Every structure is written in structure tokens, then in C-alpha cells.
Amino acid sequence: MKGRRFSLGRLKKYAKPRPKIPQATVDSILVRSQHRCCICYAEGVQIAHADDDRDNNMEDNLIPLCLRHHDEVSKNGGMTQQYTPEQLRMYKNEWFCEVKLGRKRAALGMAYDTAADADLPEAAVNLESEDST
């Protein structure tokens, strides 16, 4: 192929077809994230695998990321600290809680004000505990 370079390691890594992520899982992630990146909140996302294992389609492992952050997460090496799978999951969980809080505020007719929500982590914990009841 002219103009495209492939590394043999990458070809071997992805020799078998990628398992399809169930549509219900894709829908859940996209709706809960409002189709936004969980790191920078940009619109237009792809679903990335936090642990870089294309076979692991568990919802906990799937992270909504914009193209820029998906590329950064997929990079190996370099001089900057890489995102760990646990950090990606934390970004996702915090963003899902923030979206949920915003929806609750909207349902109550309250304006979303990030300055007023300085206690978001506490609010996020409260929202998570509501889900488990």
C-alpha cells in the first residue's frame, strides 16, 4: 500500500477480527456521556478500551474519548506520563456523575453552575449511592 506504513507488531496484535461491542452497551455509554469525551468534554467520541484489550467489551472497560484523547491513550512510549486504565475509568465515572447531576438540575429547573457545584465529588458519591438502591 503506497503511503501507509504498518508495523509487523501491530499487524500481529490485531490479526483476528475485533469482537463487536453490543449495541446496548454502546448506547448506554454514549447516552450516559452525552456523546462527549470524558477527559475534555469535546463532542464526537469513539469508544476506547481502557486496558487496550479489544476483546474486553465489559462496560467498565469502555471509555468515551474524543479522537485526540483516543490517540493519546493508544500511544506507547514518549516522554509524558501515560493514562492508566484506572485513571481512564475514574475520568469516565466522574463525567457520568456530572452528566447525571446536570440532568437532575435540569429536571428541577435549576441552572447548571459549576461554581455552585464545587462539592461535585460529594454529590457524585451521593448519586452513585442512589443508583445502588
**In this structure, is residue 14 part of a structural domain?**
yes
Task: Identify whether 76 is part of a domain.
Answer: yes
Q: Is residue 95 part of a domain?
A: yes
Say how many C-beta atoms besides its own lie within 10 A of residue 14's C-beta. Answer: 11
Taking all residues of the chain, what is their mean pLDDT, rounded to a whole number?
A: 80
Domain assignment of residue 71, yes or no? yes
How high is the pLDDT of residue 124? 45
Give yes or no for residue 30 having a pLDDT over 70: yes
Residues 11, 69, 3: CA angle, nearest 5 degrees: 40
User: Which are the contacts of 93, defined by CB distance < 8 A and separation ≥ 6?
Assistant: 124, 128
1 assigned to some structural domain: no
Over residues 47-63, the pLDDT tens digits come to: 999 998 999 999 999 99
Domain membership of residue 19 (yes or no) is yes
80-92 tens-digit pLDDT = 678 999 999 999 9
More confident residue, 106 or 8: 106
pLDDT at 132 over 60: no
**Total domains in the fold of the chain:** 1
- The whole domain housing 13 covers 8-131
**pLDDT at res. 81:** 74
Report if residue 57 sits inside a domain: yes
In-domain check, residue 47: yes
